[in-house]
């Protein structure tokens, strides 16, 4: 008990709100403030993803031109996802597929899967002395279809400016299911600009295509916003430590992403330097974003047996 305050929320808090108006009307948001400099927004109607992240009042993430879009507007056809891709700090991609649309074993796979547009079945939070824990359940199940469940625990420290996302994916069905997962972390201005310093613990950097290969020596160099910029993607092979960071010398702050490369063995860097489409994706995952058909063809597709579970964890820390 702190004798100086009337309510705990004077110092740190989780508050639930609903949006009013526009395509985000009615969406549930959990606004979190850890009381020592970090604020984040958890979107209950979008897989408990993190739509906003601020540190010391400075925006750290990218928010797409479409803004908040309710799952009722989601369309799984081809790349229509982009009309509802708000990005935010985190968009979860999967679970049935990651990356470009494709047809795998006769089944149409939408761009980046559908889990990021799935509302939580239920969500709640608990407070301890040192952290907030936000726990959510997201069901990706259907008749004559896959039956997978994602339990997400976001542990937000009250003593350090850091948080950990722990996801447990379970196959609730009676047959083995492909599981593809990618954490689409999106960095934006003012943390991201041409002076930002990027570090990734890669042993090898591979270009996604010829366009990326033509500029591979500049994969870590950010640029000013440019008209008609064509995105470049680089695949990083990280065998030892799983680490990626961005630091902004003008702000004297940044953030770092830590993960286990034995579990999340595919790291994608998305470099998009367009005007208003100005974003850096730092994306640990268990697959590269080439679609499920390519993963199966290259013998890279991970499977979960009936009732089997797999745990994935990503840790985010603010840098000063």
Specify the pLDDT at position 80: 65
Which residue positions in the chain have pLDDT lower than 50? none
How many percent of the chain have pLDDT more than 90?
Answer: 89
What gap in Å lies between CA 102 and CA 145, rounded to an integer?
Answer: 17
Specify the pLDDT at position 78: 63
Asked if residue 211 has a cis previous peptide bond (ω within 30° of 0), the answer is no
Q: Is residue 211 part of a domain?
A: yes
> Hey, CA dihedral for 105, 86, 262, 272, is it positive or negative?
positive
Q: Is residue 13 part of a domain?
A: yes
With CA atoms as reference, report the closest residue to 84 among 41, 60, 114: 114
What gap in Å lies between CA 131 and CA 154, rounded to an integer?
Answer: 10
CATH number at residue 176: 2.70.98.10
Segments forming the whole domain that contains residue 131: 8-319
Count of domains for the chain? 1
What gap in Å lies between CA 159 and CA 130, rounded to an integer?
Answer: 6
Helices (H), 175-306: 210-213, 292-297
Q: Is residue 1 part of a domain?
A: no
108-128 pLDDT, tens digit each: 988 999 999 999 999 999 999
Q: Is residue 210 part of a domain?
A: yes
Q: Is residue 2 part of a domain?
A: no
Dihedral of CA atoms 260, 34, 14, 122 in degrees, nearest 10, equals 10
Q: Is residue 3 part of a domain?
A: no
Structure tokens belonging to residue 14: 């989780």
41-85 pLDDT, tens digit each: 999 999 999 999 999 999 999 999 999 999 998 877 766 677 889
Q: Is residue 271 part of a domain?
A: yes
Q: Is residue 302 part of a domain?
A: yes
């Amino acid at each position: 008990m702190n004798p100086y305050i009337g309510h705990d929320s004077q110092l740190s808090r989780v508050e639930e709100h609903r949006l009013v108006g526009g395509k985000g009307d009615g969406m549930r948001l959990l606004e979190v403030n850890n009381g020592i400099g970090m604020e984040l927004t958890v979107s209950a109607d979008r897989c408990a993803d993190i739509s906003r992240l601020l540190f010391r009042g400075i925006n750290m993430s990218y928010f797409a031109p479409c803004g908040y879009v309710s799952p009722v507007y989601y369309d799984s056809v081809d790349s229509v996802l982009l009309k509802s891709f708000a990005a935010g700090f985190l968009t979860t991609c999967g679970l049935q597929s990651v990356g470009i649309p494709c047809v795998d074993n006769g089944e149409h796979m939408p761009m980046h899967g559908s889990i990021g547009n799935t509302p939580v079945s239920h969500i709640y939070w608990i407070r301890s002395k040192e952290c907030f824990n936000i726990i959510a359940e997201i069901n990706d199940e259907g008749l004559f279809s896959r039956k997978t469940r994602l339990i997400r625990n976001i542990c937000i420290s009250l003593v350090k400016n850091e948080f950990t996302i722990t996801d447990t994916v379970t196959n609730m069905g009676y047959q083995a299911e492909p599981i593809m997962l990618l954490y689409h972390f999106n960095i934006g201005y003012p943390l991201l600009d041409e002076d930002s310093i990027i570090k990734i613990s890669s042993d090898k950097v591979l270009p996604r295509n010829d366009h990326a290969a033509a500029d591979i020596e500049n994969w870590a160099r950010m640029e000013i916003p440019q008209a008609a910029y064509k995105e470049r993607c680089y695949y990083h092979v990280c065998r030892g430590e799983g680490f990626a960071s961005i630091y902004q010398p003008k702000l004297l702050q940044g953030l770092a992403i830590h993960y286990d490369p034995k579990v999340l063995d595919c790291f994608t860097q998305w470099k998009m330097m367009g005007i208003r489409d100005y974003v850096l994706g730092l994306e640990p995952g268990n697959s590269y974003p080439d679609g499920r058909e390519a993963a199966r063809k290259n013998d890279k597709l991970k499977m979960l047996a009936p009732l089997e579970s797999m745990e994935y964890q990503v840790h985010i820390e603010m840098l000063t």
